[in-house]
Amino acid sequence: MSTLSHDVHVSAMTPVAPAALKLPDGTAGSWSPLAHTLVHGPTEAALVDPPITRAQADALGDWIEGFGKRLSFIYVTHGHGDHWLGTQPLVERFPGVTVLATPSTIEAIRAAAPEGAATGLWPAAFPGQVAGAPLDLEAVPRDGFEVDGHALLPVEAGHSDMDGTSVLHVPSIGLVAAGDVVYANVHQYLGEAGGGGLDAWRRALDTVAALDPRHVVAGHREPAWPDSPADIATTRGYLDSAEEVLASATSARAYFDAMVARYPDRVNPLTVWMSAVRLLPAA
């Protein structure tokens, strides 16, 4: 039987409209880098998690075309818009592609774009740059789908940086495309971690670790970062640090300053501030 391979394209950090989001000192921020995994065999390919903007989708489409494979599937791991807003331009570019997601992800996408157009943060943060929700979403079968005869399996992970997240497991090559269950040297979004979310995220990490992967693609990572299972542990360590800081921080700014000081080399402090203002009072 033929074998599969995987490659990763990273959409670089993207400026965010200051009117929608900015750092605590008032300066403009950027969105975190996004990893898009292409699983491909001799003739077919599947993409995990499209990007945000039309421009990012165009660049990703150029990259996919370079492989010379038929894009048969797009799989969306969860409902945050930075993992699906660029889907429809790719659907239009690659006729016949099937867009798959778990029922919980489909529900989240429909809630964020109830009439087909994204609402809330996304059009405000990226004015004039985002498309509507994917027009045709199918619930992924429980036993997954195939690329050139190899199984790609959806695995429900529960809460990570939001409820109802999943990962995609490719057993034949030991790959987990982990969506936002795993981060790699990028500040983690914890704005939805209240009410036991940190412990739930740790259980999601246990789910990924139990798959015994050889390669783990984090949903947010730097372009040259390796697809390492070690990122499961570093993601967990960040949660542990955040829990310690939250136990003593009295304001959003205190949490922000402490986490940036603990992780000075992690990418994108805007994510820390977005988390802080949802978890703690401003002052």
- Which residues lie across from 6 on neighbouring strands? 39
* pLDDT band, residue 115 (cuts 50/70/90): confident
In the chain, what are the domain boundaries? 5-279
For residue 28, give every residue at least 6 positions away whose Cβ sits within 8 Å of its Cβ, in sequence order, or none. Answer: 15, 16, 18, 22
Average pLDDT, integer, range 119-126: 94
CATH 3.40.50.720 fits 5-279, yes or no: no
**Residue 1 pLDDT:** 63
Name the DSSP class of 112: H
H helix or E strand, kind and range, residue 215? strand 215-217
- Which residues lie across from 190 on neighbouring strands? none
Strands 215-217 and 44-48, by their bridges, are unpaired
Name the DSSP class of 72: E
Average pLDDT, integer, range 232-250: 97
CA–chain centroid gap for 60, Å, is 15
Give the mean pLDDT of the chain.
Answer: 96
H helix or E strand, kind and range, residue 235? helix 230-248
Q: Tell me if 272 sits within 8 A of 189, measured CB to CB.
A: no
Average pLDDT, integer, range 173-190: 98
Best CA proximity match to 51, nearest among 22, 21, 90:
90
Best CA proximity match to 161, nearest among 185, 194, 137:
194
Least confident span in 17-21, 112-116, 137-141, 148-152: 112-116
Q: How far apart are CA 91 and CA 271, in angstroms?
A: 29
pLDDT, tens digit (0-9, with 9 covering 90-100), for 6-48:
999 999 999 999 999 999 999 999 999 999 999 999 999 999 9
Average pLDDT, integer, range 103-121: 92
Q: Tell me if 77 sits within 8 A of 50, measured CB to CB.
A: no
Strands 14-15 and 215-217, by their bridges, are unpaired
pTM of the model: 0.97
**Predicted confidence (pLDDT) at residue 182 exceeds the cutoff of 70:** yes
**Predicted confidence (pLDDT) at residue 134 exceeds the cutoff of 80:** no
**Predicted confidence (pLDDT) at residue 135 exceeds the cutoff of 80:** no
Amino acid in the structure at residue 119: T
Q: Tell me if 256 sits within 8 A of 269, measured CB to CB.
A: yes
pLDDT, tens digit (0-9, with 9 covering 90-100), for 88-104:
999 999 999 999 999 99
**Predicted confidence (pLDDT) at residue 148 exceeds the cutoff of 70:** yes
